[in-house]
Structures are given as C-alpha cells and as structure tokens.
C-alpha cells in the first residue's frame, strides 16, 4: 500500500487541532471500551454457571453472585464514557434536532460544562476517600464465601469517571472545532 504524503499533509492541515485531539481521545475511549466490553461475555458465562448450579444442583455460590455485581458495575461504569463518545446515551431531542450545527455545538459546550463536569468532579472527589478506605482496610466481602479484593472493584469508580471526563473534553473540543469551521462536523 502506497501513501500519498502530500494528500495526508493536506488533510492533516485541514483538520483543526481541537478536532484531531478529539479524534485521538475518542479512539482511545473506544478502544478501551471495546476491551472492557468483554466483561459482558464473562458476565453471561458467570450467570449461566450460577443458574445451572442453582437449578441443576440446588447450590449457588455467593462468590459468583458477587462477581455478577462486580462485572455489571465495570460494564456500566466504563460504558458511560463510551456512550458519551458515541452519542448513544439517552437524550431528549425534541428541540435539539431543529437547531443549527452552531447552536448544537454551544449546547454541547454549555451542557457538558454545567452538568457533566461538575457531576464527574463530585463523584471523583468523593470516590477517592471511599477507595482509599477500602484499600486501607483491604476490604473484602462480608460473606464468608464471598469475593476478596473488594477494594479493587471500588478503584474502578474514579478511573471510570476520569474516562467520562475525558470523553466530555473530547466532545467540547469537537464542538469548538465545529464553531471554528463555521458549523461543519469539526474536521
């Protein structure tokens, strides 16, 4: 495969710095999310094993039930950033769909700045003490046959909201790129 360096250079200069940065962040979030999505495959296997053990052998394992909770938590926590990056979250588009691209860009910037970032900040700050205390006492399940290392799953909270903040930053950068380009797609 032969690359035309001049064409690449021209395309690279046409794309603004905020748009290129946003594209890189989006790519990072998506790749990380695709990896974490495999947690759902593991979750299905764990659920099937638990169902077979309960229904077939009248014996369930508390550790498997707790593992289900932990896998759900990981999937949802890290799925938030993916949903923000791909616009697959729930929105109310009754009015938004009729706005110009420029107005939509401003709505994204203001909405993320006023709602997403403060939410992420509060969750991140409050989760640090929560995670620290869990690590400090080497928290584990209260159930005798439950999972150890509960501190590990709690550590996902600040990581996931930091990734969500990164996804929000990406969307703000893309919106600024749209404003710079006169309302096109931010490229």
What integer pLDDT is reported at residue 181 of this predicted model? 84
Q: Which long-range contacts (CB under 8 A, 24 or more apart) does 109-118 make?
A: 109/172, 109/175, 109/176, 112/168, 112/171, 112/172, 113/172, 116/84, 116/164, 116/165, 116/168, 117/165, 117/168
Q: Which domain holds residue 115?
A: 17-180
- Enter the pTM of the model: 0.83
Residue 81 lies in a domain: yes
Residue 9 lies in a domain: no
Residue 156 lies in a domain: yes
pLDDT one-digit tens code per residue, 61-108: 888 999 999 999 999 999 999 999 998 877 777 888 888 999 999 999
Length of the chain: 187
Closest CA to 70 of 157, 153, 146: 153
The tally of domains found in the chain comes to 1
What integer pLDDT is reported at residue 22 of this predicted model? 93
CB 21 within 8 A of CB 166: no
Residue 6 lies in a domain: no
Residue 2 lies in a domain: no
Q: Per the structure block, which two tokens stand in for 65?
A: 């039930």
Residue 1 lies in a domain: no
Query: Which of residues 140 and 8 earns the better pLDDT score?
Result: 140
Residue 10 lies in a domain: no
CB 89 within 8 A of CB 83: yes
The Cα–Cα gap between 125 and 129 comes to 8
Residue 74 lies in a domain: yes
């Amino acid at each position: 495969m032969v690359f035309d360096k001049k064409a690449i250079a021209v395309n690279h200069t046409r794309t603004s710095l905020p748009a290129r940065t946003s594209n890189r962040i989006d790519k990072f979030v998506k790749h990380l999310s695709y990896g974490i999505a495999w947690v759902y495959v593991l979750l299905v296997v764990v659920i099937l094993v638990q169902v077979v053990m309960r229904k077939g052998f009248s014996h369930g394992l508390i550790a498997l039930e707790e593992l289900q909770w932990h896998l759900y938590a990981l999937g949802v926590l890290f799925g938030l950033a993916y949903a923000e990056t791909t616009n697959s979250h729930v929105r109310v588009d009754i009015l938004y769909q009729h706005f110009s691209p420029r107005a939509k860009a401003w709505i994204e910037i203001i909405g993320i700045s006023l709602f997403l970032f403060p939410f992420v900040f509060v969750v991140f700050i409050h989760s640090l003490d929560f995670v620290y205390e869990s690590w400090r006492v080497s928290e584990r399940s209260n159930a005798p046959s439950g999972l150890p290392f509960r501190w590990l799953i709690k550590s996902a909270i600040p990581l996931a909201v930091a990734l969500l903040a990164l996804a929000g930053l990406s969307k703000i950068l893309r919106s600024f790129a749209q404003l710079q380009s006169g309302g096109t797609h931010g490229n």
